[in-house]
């Protein structure tokens, strides 16, 4: 274990800053970054939704990998390799646009994750258990509450532990993904050899505006996060070299990991049966009948799988793997975004109370607990608003997580071009090509999709049958909008309040002793 040395040169920060950051511990190597990014970028919560539009989901996935994920990875690799300090996503926005913009942007960046953890990810895990352990029947609200609380607070506990422990959790999560999709690929081949596959024609791959609105915001949500390891920059052994390498490897790996199950769902299940909540588990269950079980088809074409023997046993394992994948997706994001928020609170962009790091673990325990509290509130609110309806519970949590996530990148992507202008002489170990063009492309995706998340189908048929989320009726469009808009307004207002509190606290204390260094954020050496 190597501690971060104190003695950072900052002109406008409280003297306690160096004391807090000296508690950080270096445990994060190149391999750890790769596994961490695999957990960050690949999740199973949106796989079923990608298949609801048939082959168009696969087409849009490929388009977004090329036109969005590629540019995003290059832009964020430059920032992560150049500014290698704790709280990276906050630090970059703060340097580019100042405290207020960074405070609001970082609050959105952070709050996404407890919202996601307490909403979508709990629903995903329960969906996997429902398919494989409860024969597609709802467990009931009591089970939902007990499982949800255990899911959320186990994540908080692991987030409190240092990266010395946390990196192994992400490694386990990465291998769980490889195992889940490896078995899925195998059973798809076996199932196809025995029963045949639906097949995907060229016409099925044709994209449309409705499929764009329904799928691309979710795809973008699934493909962001290349910057997350940089939130722990001071805990990396060699961020300048390891960040670009980890991002490049994870981009290729995640592209394959997403493409494989989407194709598998399309080949096994009719598009009408795929759903955001259970599409992927249902496809696995149907394919596992090759090891034991049967499939019955109703007159409307709906296929229902029943497992027995070895098929049922393997199904239990797959259900557990789905829970592990969902859990580690939330955990890696909580670990990174909590650090970014804690650093911002040390840098006049939030209450200093939340800038405290544990002397034992080197983690922002107070922010970790705050994440747990917010996750719990979201979990309870989503459960009660949807009356325990699993489909509505899933879509409310996912849509809110998507909107807050996409909005937080409005401050991140332009920071590359801005910092080249403001800090042109800083050595850049990795330099993104055509950064201006890639920023415009990435921002166009982000802005359009943010609007469509809030107003599905706007420009054609707002909340029409081709655009509204699963489980919702046209008459409920205003309820849906309120479930998205009200939290967003609260989150933006909280970001402004954090900035006001941080500004007042530092004004009351006065700046740290001047050292002659430039006015830079915490963690960025003069």
To the nearest whole percent, how much of the chain has pLDDT over 70?
Answer: 83
- Helices H, strands E: what count in the chain? 19, 2
Cβ contacts of residue 150 below 8 Å, gap of 6+? none
Task: Determine the angle formed by the axes of helices 390-408 and 122-133, rounding to 10 degrees.
Answer: 150
Domain residue extents for the chain: 28-508
The 8-class DSSP code of residue 216 comes to H
Stretch 156-160: mean pLDDT: 92
Cβ pair 412, 105 in contact under 8 A: yes
Residue 482 has pLDDT above 90, yes or no: no
Alpha helix segments (H runs only) across 117-238: 122-133, 141-160, 163-195, 209-222
Q: What pLDDT digit, counting tens, does each position of 271-303 carry?
A: 555 444 446 787 788 888 889 988 787 766 666
At residue 341, the pLDDT reads: 95
**CATH architecture for residues 28-508:** Up-down Bundle (1.20)
At residue 4, the pLDDT reads: 40
At residue 392, the pLDDT reads: 59
* Cα atoms in the Cβ-side hemisphere of radius 13 Å centred on 29: 6
Query: Euclidean distance between the first and final Cα of the chain, in Å?
Result: 26
Nearest Cα neighbor of 453 from 394, 400, 492 is 400
Residue 458 has pLDDT above 60, yes or no: yes
Stretch 391-418: mean pLDDT: 81
**Confidence band, pLDDT 50/70/90 cuts, at residue 228:** very high
Candidate ranges 4-18, 123-137, 401-415, 467-481; pick with highest mean pLDDT:
401-415
What's the predicted TM-score (pTM) here?
0.84
Instruction: Identify the residue whose tokens are 């696969």.
Output: 58
Residue 119 or residue 180, greater confidence: 180
At residue 272, the pLDDT reads: 52
Number of Cβ atoms within 10 Å of the Cβ of 323: 21
* Mean pLDDT of the residues in the chain: 82
Residue 233 has pLDDT above 90, yes or no: no
Beta bridge partners of 303: 297
Candidate ranges 122-126, 176-180, 479-483; pick with highest mean pLDDT:
176-180
**Confidence band, pLDDT 50/70/90 cuts, at residue 140:** confident
Cβ pair 60, 216 in contact under 8 A: yes
Cβ pair 383, 144 in contact under 8 A: yes
> What is the DSSP annotation of 80-102?
HHH---BTHHHHHHHHHH-HHHH
At residue 315, the pLDDT reads: 92
Stretch among 91-105, 323-337, 449-463 having the lowest mean pLDDT: 449-463
At residue 9, the pLDDT reads: 37
Residue 516 has pLDDT above 60, yes or no: no
């Amino acid at each position: 274990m190597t501690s971060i040395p104190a003695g950072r040169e900052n002109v406008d920060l409280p003297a306690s800053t160096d004391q807090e950051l000296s508690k950080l511990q270096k445990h994060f190597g190149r391999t750890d970054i790769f596994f961490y990014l695999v957990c960050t970028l690949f999740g199973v919560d949106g796989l079923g939704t990608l298949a609801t539009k048939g082959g168009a989901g696969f087409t849009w996935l490929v388009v977004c990998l090329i036109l969005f994920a590629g540019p995003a990875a290059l832009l964020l690799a430059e920032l992560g390799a150049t500014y290698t300090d704790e709280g990276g996503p906050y630090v970059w926005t703060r340097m580019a646009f100042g405290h207020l913009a960074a405070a609001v942007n970082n609050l959105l960046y952070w709050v996404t994750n407890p919202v996601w953890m307490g909403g979508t990810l709990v629903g995903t895990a329960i969906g996997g258990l429902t398919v494989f352990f409860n024969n597609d029947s709802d467990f009931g609200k009591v089970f939902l509450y007990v499982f949800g609380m255990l899911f959320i607070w186990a994540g908080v506990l692991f987030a409190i532990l240092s990266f010395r422990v946390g990196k192994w959790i992400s490694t386990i999560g990465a291998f769980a993904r490889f195992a889940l999709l490896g078995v899925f690929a195998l059973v798809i081949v076996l199932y196809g050899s025995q029963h045949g596959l639906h097949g995907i024609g060229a016409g099925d791959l044709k994209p449309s505006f409705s499929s764009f609105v329904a799928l691309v915001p979710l795809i973008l949500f699934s493909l962001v996060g290349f910057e997350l390891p940089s939130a722990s920059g001071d805990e990396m052994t060699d961020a300048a070299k390891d960040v670009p390498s980890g991002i490049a490897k994870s981009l290729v790996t995640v592209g394959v990991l997403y493409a494989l199950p989407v194709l598998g769902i399309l080949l096994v299940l009719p598009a009408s049966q795929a759903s955001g909540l259970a599409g992927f588990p249902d496809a696995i269950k149907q394919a596992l009948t090759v090891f034991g079980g049967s499939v019955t088809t109703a007159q409307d074409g709906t296929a229902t799988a029943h497992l027995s023997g070895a098929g049922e046993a393997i199904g239990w394992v797959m259900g557990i793997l789905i829970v592990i994948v969902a859990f580690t997706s939330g955990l890696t994001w909580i670990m990174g975004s909590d650090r970014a928020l804690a650093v911002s609170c040390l840098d006049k962009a939030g209450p200093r109370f939340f800038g405290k790091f544990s002397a034992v673990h080197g983690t922002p325990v107070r922010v970790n607990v705050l994440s747990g509290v917010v996750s719990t509130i979201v979990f309870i609110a989503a459960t009660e608003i949807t009356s325990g309806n699993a489909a509505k519970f899933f879509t409310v949590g996912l849509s809110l997580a998507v909107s807050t996530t996409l909005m937080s990148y409005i401050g991140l992507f332009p920071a590359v071009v801005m910092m080249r202008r403001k800090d042109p002489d800083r050595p850049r170990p990795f330099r993104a090509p055509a950064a201006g063009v890639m920023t415009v492309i990435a921002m166009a995706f982000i802005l359009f999709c943010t609007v469509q998340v809030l107003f599905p189908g706007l420009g054609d048929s707002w909340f029409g049958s081709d655009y509204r989320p699963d489980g919702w009726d046209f008459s409920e469009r205003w309820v849906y909008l309120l479930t998205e808009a009200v939290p967003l307004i609260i989150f933006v207002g909280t970001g402004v309040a954090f900035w006001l509190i941080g500004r007042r606290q530092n004004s009351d204390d006065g700046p740290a002793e001047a050292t002659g260094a430039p006015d830079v954020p915490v963690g960025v050496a003069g």
